[in-house]
Structures are given as structure tokens and as C-alpha cells.
Amino acid sequence: MSEKLSPWESQLVNVKKTCDLMGLEPAVYEVVSHPKAILKVALPIRMDDGSVEVFDAVRIHHNDARGPTKGGIRYHKGLNLDTEMALAAWMTWKNAVVNLPYGGGKGGIDVDPKALSKVELERLTRAYAVAFANFIGVDLDVPAPDVGTNAQIMAWLIDEYYKVTGKITPGVITAKPLSLGGSVGRTAATGRGVYFASREASKLYGIPIKGSDVSIQGYGNVAYYAATNFHDAGANVVAVSDSKGGIYDAKGLDPVKVMEHKRETGSVLGYPGAKEMGSADVLTVKCDYLIPAALQNALTKEVAEKVDCKMIAEGANGPTLPEADVVLNEKGITVIPDICANAGGVTVSYFEWVQNRQGYYWTEEEVDQRLERVMVTAFHDLKAQADKYDVPLRTGAYALAIGRVAEAMRFLGWI
């Protein structure tokens, strides 16, 4: 049963299926089914009460045939190696789909950041920077924020990295504060990219965004900016959720007011006039566009059987299990895969890296225009592959990505 597959095994199902479909030499799959490098460390941290706690940390380089590895650092309780390997691999494919000169990386710390004081969080972050200083670099591996991390944490990381290396290289970390070389437009980029990909799909599949109903699992950064972009385009955001629960209003929610309510109360629950439901219930709300924008493996086979929408745009990484994909395809539901739909964030992180290296910074309008161009091109490139092999968009996206990575590995002499 695919529900029992680990995230790493789950992504390998798609990779193997695509390699076989394309008739690629066996060496391609053999190389990409193994992370290139993994560094695991234990970080002893003195807590505010004088005690010492040890935190497990990891960083993974999946594949660097196309350039330095790129991917987030997450602070998440229960973080495990298998999931991080899968996330690193998804970054390889995502970067290749949008044609960035990167490979895939990922990593983080097994910790609940909310359980630490700000001082403890800073100590832990600086310890991570010291431990991984030789494993990251502007031409080696470029981290960014992920679940449980933010621009402040990136600032502590980069400050400690500068101290260890003796060099100021802003491009070593992206999604930094603007005052430290961050890029305008980065915060909204992932959610905006979800919208751009959906807009292109809407034209081809005849599902207008204006007047459509949209349901979103999650209400963090990605979900919020996806919601505001759909809302601004005339869609009705009928449901959203967070870890505490979901809310629904058939007449449509105001995304900005929902976020204001969440910031004031700590949850979307209790929003005036909305019906409350479970966090996962928003996945089965009747709608036109469904956006899973929480954690991986949200759409199981059982959930997919209850999904009632026309199109899914994956804001989260790996939200759909392989057997769920089969169900969705049988139901005629179009799925814009994560490795395209949520690539807006890493695309603007790439823009930040480029700006850091040039020492020249773009306007928000320039960033937005470039992001739109990348997302539009990527969607039509993967659609062309899907049409070529007569397969769903997910397989088309993997064909596009794996083909590009395989080409680079051939030129390098790896295969």
C-alpha cells in the first residue's frame, strides 16, 4: 500500500516510473536514487536554566549535476532522515523543472522551535552554522528557510557563517532580511507561483479562476499568498485551515482579515461567520481549485476518493501519495504537481542569489515579472512533456526534470 511508503520511497515511485517511460539508461535511476552526501551531527546546547540538551541535525545534498544544491532548513519536531532525503530529491526535480542552475538539498534540526526561548533558538542556530560551515557555500549548497524557520534565523546563520569563514558572502543563504541582501518579492513568491501555474492551467483546461471556489489546506506563508492572489483574481476562497482546524464559508472568506484574525488569536478557528471543521476536512470541500499547502502525504487514497474539485495545485511538497494520484487521475482531476506549482519560492531565492553575486538589486516589479516568466515557461514545458508521453502533468514534470538532470550527468561523465 502506498500509504505505508516513506516519503523517500514515494518519490522514488515517480522517478522510476518516469525513467522507464522515457527509456533512460539504468544508470540514471541508480545515481538519483542515492543522495550524493549526507552530514548528520549532534548539537549540544546550553539551555536558559543551565541544563544541556542535544539536538539532532542533518543536511543532505541529493544531486549537484546542474549546480550547487539548494533547499530549505527546517526546525521540526520529529524531523527524520528519510523525509529530508525525499525533500532534497524534490528540490532537485523542482529546480530542474523551472530550469534553475541548481541541484537539490535539504536539512534541519529535530526541534520544536516554539518550545525554545529566543536566546536558545539563536544558540541552536549558530551551532548549526558552525557544524555545517564546510557543507554549505555559495557555490556548494545554498540553504533557505523552511518549516519552523524564518528570515531572522537565516540572519543568525549567515552571521555565524561569516565569522567561521572570515568572508562576507551574502549569496550563501537566501530569503534573508532585505537589510542583509534579501530580495524584494521573496516572501510572497511561493504562493504567487502557485497562482501563476494555476492561471496557466486554467486557460488550457477551461476552468476560469474568476468566480471559482478555492479551498486551501494550511494558512502559513504559502497558503496565505496563494489565497490573496486567487482572491485578487476574482476567486472565492471558501475554506482554509491550520494545525488547529479549518473554517468554511460558501460566500467566500477575506484572506487578509482571516490572517489578521489568526495573528490575533493564534488560529483561523473562531473567524466570524465561518463554519468550523477539521484541518483535513478542507481537502474534501466541494470546490473548483484545491490547494494542499501544509505538510507532505496529506492526500491519501482514502482522502482522494472524497476529493470534490476540478483542479489541484500543490502548494506543499509531496502532498499526494502515488495511490492517491491514481484515484485523482481516474476521477479526471487535473493535478499541477508540487515540483512546478510551488517552485516560485526557490525561483526568487535564485534571483536573490544572482543579485547578491552581482551586487545589484532589482525592483519588486522586475522580480515579479521574472517570476511570472519562469513559472509560465515551466508549466508549458512540462505540459509539452505530458503531451509527448500522453501522461498526467506530474509525470510530465518528472520527465522534464529527469531529462535535464540526466543530460547534465551524461556531459559530466557520471553515466
Contact (Cβ atoms closer than 8 angstroms) between residue 122 and residue 48: no
Contact (Cβ atoms closer than 8 angstroms) between residue 344 and residue 196: yes
Q: Is 106 a catalytic residue?
A: yes
Instruction: Calculate the CA 137 to chain-centre distance.
Output: 21
Question: Of these residues, 106, 176, 262, 310, which one is catalytic?
Answer: 106
As a whole number of angstroms, the distance between CA 221 and CA 355 comes to 23
Neighbour count for residue 120 (Cβ, 10 Å) = 18
DSSP E strands in 273-387: the ranges are: 275-277, 289-292, 311-313, 334-336
For residue 209 the three cell numbers come to 479562476
**Residues of 316-340 as b/e, b for ≥16 C-beta within 10 angstroms?**
bbbbbbbbbbebbbeeebbbbbbbb
Q: Are strands 52-63 and 103-109 parallel, antiparallel or unpaired?
A: antiparallel
As a whole number of angstroms, the distance between CA 153 and CA 315 comes to 23
Residues forming the active site: 106
